Structure 1
Amino acid sequence: MNISGSLTQVLRIEDSSQIGYARRTAQQLAELHGFDERDAGRVALVATELASNLIKHAGHGEIHLRALKRLDGFGIEMLAVDRAQGFDLDACLADGFSTGGTQGIGLGAVSRQAEVFDVYADQRGAVLLARLYPRSDRQPDMPYGVSQHSLHDDPACGDVWHLAYNNGSISALVVDGLGHGEDAERAARAGERAFALTPFAEPTVLMEDMHREMIGSRGGAVAFAQFDGARDQLIFAGVGNIGASLIAADKSRGLASHPGIVGGQYRKARPFDYAHVNGHLLIMYSDGLQSRWNLQDYPGLVHRHPAVIASVLHRDFCRGRDDVTVLVVALEAAHG
């Protein structure tokens, strides 16, 4: 199964008049991706409550919206992101607790509407995740998350990410085309096309395939990680300034890349092997994200859903002067 995605759609929620827009936008995205009237109605309800909760408890914030590609069909992901001083989560989860302008169904009811619901809140703010799938969808949730945003909301993004799952193995890619805008996106997409053909190929061969495909473009930074669930091993290969870390509850390891530009000039990138990584988080990010973050500064965050982790890192460490992609993958051999 190959997964790639579009930019995160950001809906700014600054007053109660924008709640209706969030509801309609989320419902339309669900309908566009095959949700029937009842399932799209669940999406609309959850969007309404998340947006209302932002106004009530944070004053303002953002809804991050995206369609999730599945083996068969799509899901809808919504994240409510704020920078407030946190809120009384237990009260919000209680049924009948009104978040302002709604019927007071409470986030507890939202958690029952969503197939995946998760929250992280501290003194920096809160991130609430809801993933909804059609009732007929019996596929498991895929344990990854991505936060991808272009500079100045440009419709073109020079960052590209791609995930491939195959019988307990995972191959994850991030490409950052040089610069930003359409030319950077063309360079990154060229690399992604080559990667998608053989995502589990021998790393030096795969990097060379991507290099050949990117010649004639601006080129870019490339990194990919191949997790073999049966062997409990990860191989990482990188050229340029894609950051990457392997994170467990008690430790973190940075993954090293080589200098150069894929599609331009680089020396053959020797891959690095890492053993005993089952249960770890793989975090890969373009240089639109600062590198001076540490999940240990966020107690309990390492145990939250990867989509929550990606959004927290984007919220707190986005440089704001380039496209930014944060890809978080839970390395779990059982998922195929």
Structure 2
Amino acid sequence: MSSEPTRGETERHDIQQDGDEVLARQAAESMAADIGFDESAVGEIGIVATELASNVRKHADSGELAVSKLSDGDRAGIRIESFDIGPGIVNVDAAFADGTSTAGSLGGGLGAVNRLMHQLTVAAPGEPDFGTKIVADRWIRADHEPQTSCPLSFGAASRPAANETVNGDSFVIKRWDDHVLIGVIDGLGHGDEAHKASNAATEYIETHYDNSVASIFSGTERACRGTRGVVMALARFDWTDNTVTVGTVGNINHKTNDESDLTVIPRRGVVGNNGPSPKITQSEWHPTDRLVLFSDGIDSHWEFSTVWANNDESATVTARRLLDQHSKPHDDATVLVVSDSDDA
């Protein structure tokens, strides 16, 4: 996969007056269909074009929308770019929060663009006559058969704090090709607002799972604007080259067996509240390695060697046992376990 995709055919549309948003949407949908996106994706790409064109009309006197075909190896995709000629978006952070969409527009402003596209970059105002530039890419996901069967087993267990009806914690396990992405997400506090934050993060991660770990954190930061924010840890396994790539922001804990070479560099902060970029590390992953990710609703004072006392126990049963034995009653709690598939 190249660092920058190849741009093919490009159509440019001036955004100056009422009705230009409709023409931009039609152009984006037509190109998306021509590229091979399915009907649902074509409609979502149309929403993105409408939102970006509407932002130009809202925040500047005029501008331009460009729609381009993209290619990157065997992947095909579309790029939608908007350019303001004017002051641009004054508060880019606020524009990503749901509820700030333009009057009469579809979706939820830039938050919808962030959710519906695979990659999003924003250049904020910096020059007198140059507004905001937004670049949004979406790809057709290639359907590849795994080269080898997954050698890993995954299990998770989660519950809300005592006296709460909703869980402010969440977890993700997404498998594709020869990869798995796992994650533990903890919305700040507990109750409805924590649940809202973790849901926003989980929804983004589950629809962008095959992006790089760094890109997923960046997109989740935007997805959680307007919420309390979350702390989270993600780990991406690739069993064709026996590696695991990890990123964390905030106090998601982890434990591994003594033989593991896993390196995790913690970062303080909150995703969604101008949190820092995670320190991304890549380590070797051996068949005998084990990993437990857990939120701060789990007491960390337990010995790793006691976890796999019963080697016939599945990862799911291990996760449930850890939750039962070590969770704190007055906080949301989540455990995610990674072991060898032979353990189950």
- Shorter-chain TM-score: what band? 0.5 to 0.7
**Equivalent runs, 1:141-290 vs 2, <5 Å:** 143-247=153-257, 255-290=264-299
Contact 1:244–1:256 under 8 Å retained in 2 = no
2: CA distance, partners of 1:169 / 1:298:
25
> Alpha-carbon deviation of 1:146?
1.5
Which whole-Å deviations, capped at 9, do the CAs of 1:15-54 have from their partners, x for residues lacking one?
xxxxxxxxxxxxxxxxxxxxxxxxxxxxxxxxxxxxxxxx
2: CA distance, partners of 1:211 / 1:303:
39
Letter of the 2:314 counterpart: H
> Alpha-carbon deviation of 1:321?
1.9
> Alpha-carbon deviation of 1:228?
0.5
| CA distance 1:253–1:175, change in 2 (3 Å) | same
Q: Residue 223 of structure 2: SS of its match in structure 1?
A: helix
Contact 1:229–1:332 under 8 Å retained in 2 = no
Which whole-Å deviations, capped at 9, do the CAs of 1:279-331 have from their partners, x for residues lacking one?
42221111000112212135624552111211221222112220000111235
Letter of the 2:187 counterpart: G
**Equivalent runs, 1:16-95 vs 2, <5 Å:** none
> Alpha-carbon deviation of 1:141?
12
Number of aligned positions between the proteins: 194
1:311 aligns with 2:323: no
> Alpha-carbon deviation of 1:188?
0.6
| CA distance 1:156–1:277, change in 2 (3 Å) | same
Of residues 307-316 and 252-261 in structure 1, the stretch that sits farther from structure 2 once superposed is 252-261
Which whole-Å deviations, capped at 9, do the CAs of 1:49-87 have from their partners, x for residues lacking one?
xxxxxxxxxxxxxxxxxxxxxxxxxxxxxxxxxxxxxxx
Structure 1 segments (4+ residues) deviating >6 Å: none
Which whole-Å deviations, capped at 9, do the CAs of 1:137-187 have from their partners, x for residues lacking one?
xxx998322221111152210001111011231100111000001110110
| CA distance 1:316–1:245, change in 2 (3 Å) | same
293, 301, 304: which one aligns with 2:302: 293
Contact 2:263–2:283 under 8 Å retained in 1 = no
Letter of the 1:238 counterpart: T
Q: Specify the alignment match of 1:320 in structure 2.
A: 329
Contact 1:243–1:255 under 8 Å retained in 2 = no
Q: Specify the alignment match of 2:95 in structure 1.
A: none
Q: Percent identity?
A: 23
Letter of the 2:336 counterpart: L
Q: Residue 259 of structure 1: SS of its match in structure 2?
A: coil
Contact 2:204–2:219 under 8 Å retained in 1 = yes
Q: Residue 143 of structure 1: SS of its match in structure 2?
A: strand
2: CA distance, partners of 1:227 / 1:331:
12
Contact 1:170–1:226 under 8 Å retained in 2 = yes
| CA distance 1:301–1:294, change in 2 (3 Å) | farther
- Bigger Rg over Cα: 2
Q: Specify the alignment match of 1:121 in structure 2.
A: none
Superposition RMSD in Å: 2.7
| CA distance 1:328–1:223, change in 2 (3 Å) | same
| CA distance 1:309–1:178, change in 2 (3 Å) | same
2: CA distance, partners of 1:331 / 1:189:
29
Q: Unaligned regions of 5+ residues in structure 2, if any? A: 1-149
